[in-house]
Amino acid sequence: MSPELSRCQAVCAQLRRYQRLVVTSHVRPDGDAVGSSLALAQALTALGKSAQVILRDPAPDPLTEFPGVETITLAAAVPADTEAVVVLECGDLDRTGLSGLDHCEVVNVDHHQGNNGYGHVHWFDPSYAAVGEMVFEIIEALGAPMTAEMATLLYVAIVTDTGSFRHPGTSPRTFAISGRLVAAGADPVLTARRLYDSNSVSRVRLQGAVLQTLDVEADGRIALLELTAATLAATGAAADDTEGIINIPLSIKSVQVALFFKATENGNYRVSLRSKGSLDVGAVARGFGGGGHLNASGCTVPGPMSAAREAILGRLLPILAAEAAGGAAGA
């Protein structure tokens, strides 16, 4: 038995032991967090267990059209009678934003670098492009039926966390699992329309306003965007409407890294980082207590904007220089 299979089986053995389970993921959930959590909870329910998804924050607006999202419970703590909690996509327990986890058995399933191996049972493997891939294998190992709704949710998880199959972690396994999900009822065309072609007028106005702040550094290799509360109010948009904006400057040919600085109420800046190729922005985010993938990560840094910008660039520029030096040496 391979190490990956044995870890998957250990997770399944733990899940079979308990009747009342909660599935959760990180604060400010993305498509992988929402899709994977819902699909796993539905599989556990199909096996006769009591399973609910509890998240600290609501799903982003583009995800609300997908089946099952309306069943998510928003809370700050897990119920007292919970026997086990499955934590997906979290490097540590604090990322859930939930309390009460110290009274439960914890199952940790993650693919992010930096996971600290918490939980009574954990399966951590950064070779998976999305936790949705890992949950697919868990559901299969549990013997739960793969419904069209579950297939759709897992397909959403995979397509969003791979950047529509563009991130380096995308593998033959990613496409094999995605193909099986489509065969089980996931609709790639409808999914793409719901994710990418459902913008509101205010969302498009916000994109235009944020793009007006575009600045470039390092000979055009770094693009920076900024969002203030005033801009958000002027466009009539919601905070969730910022989703995907960071990918626009990343489409510039010379840009290797895109940074999106979003002002928070307490004077800090929530920073989203995206990169191309092997440039590891996850390492930058972890340096500020954040986390994420090699090509997509996030963290929070103190303001004002000038200080936040200086802090991020101070960590990023040496990585960019090392990347350029490595490329030159290999030329």
Q: pLDDT for 266-275, tens place per residue?
A: 999 999 999 9
Q: What is the CA radius of gyration of the chain?
A: 20
Q: What is the mean pLDDT of the chain?
A: 92
Read off the pLDDT of each residue in 84-110 and give the average, rounded to a whole number: 94
- How far apart, in Å, are the Cα atoms of 153 and each of 89, 148, 226, 247? 15, 9, 32, 23
Q: Among 3.90.1640.10, 3.30.420.10, 2.60.40.680, 1.10.443.10, name the CATH number for the domain at 3-196.
A: 3.90.1640.10
**Which residue's structure tokens are 């910022």?**
242
Give the per-residue pLDDT at 114: 77
Task: For residue 2, name the pLDDT band (cuts at 50, 70, 90).
Answer: low
Say whether pLDDT at 119 is over 80: yes
Distance CA 250, CA 107 (A): 35
What's the pLDDT at 79? 95
Confidence at residue 292, expressed as pLDDT on a 0 to 100 scale: 79
Token digits of residue 251: 């489409």
Question: Which tokens is 161 given?
Answer: 């966390």
Instruction: Report the first-to-last Cα separation within the chain, whole angstroms.
Output: 41
Least confident of 15-29, 77-91, 114-128: 114-128
Give the residue extent of every domain in the chain. Answer: 3-196, 201-330
The average pLDDT across 137-143 equals 97
**Protein fold of 201-330:** Diaminopimelate Epimerase; Chain A, domain 1 (3.10.310)
Query: What proportion of the chain, given as a percentage, has pLDDT over 90?
Result: 78
Is pLDDT of 45 > 80?
Answer: yes
Side by side, the strands of the sheet bearing 105-110 are: 73-74, 50-55, 20-24, 84-88, 105-110, 121-124
* Distance between CA atoms of residues 112 and 37, nearest Å: 16
pLDDT value at 47 more than 70? yes
- Does pTM top 0.85 for this prediction? no
User: In sequence order, what are the beta bridge partners of 88?
Assistant: 109
Q: How far apart are CA 226 and CA 114, in angstroms?
A: 28
Largest CA distance in the chain: 60
Average pLDDT over residues 155-174: 92
Residue 221 clears pLDDT 70, i.e. is over it: yes
- Which amino acid is located at 322 in the chain? A
Gap between the Cα atoms of 206 and 93, Å rounded: 33
**The pLDDT of residue 5 is above 70:** no
pLDDT digits (tens, 9 = 90+) for 63-88: 999 999 999 999 999 999 999 999 99
Residue-wise pLDDT for 180-204, tens only, equals: 999 999 999 999 999 988 888 999 9
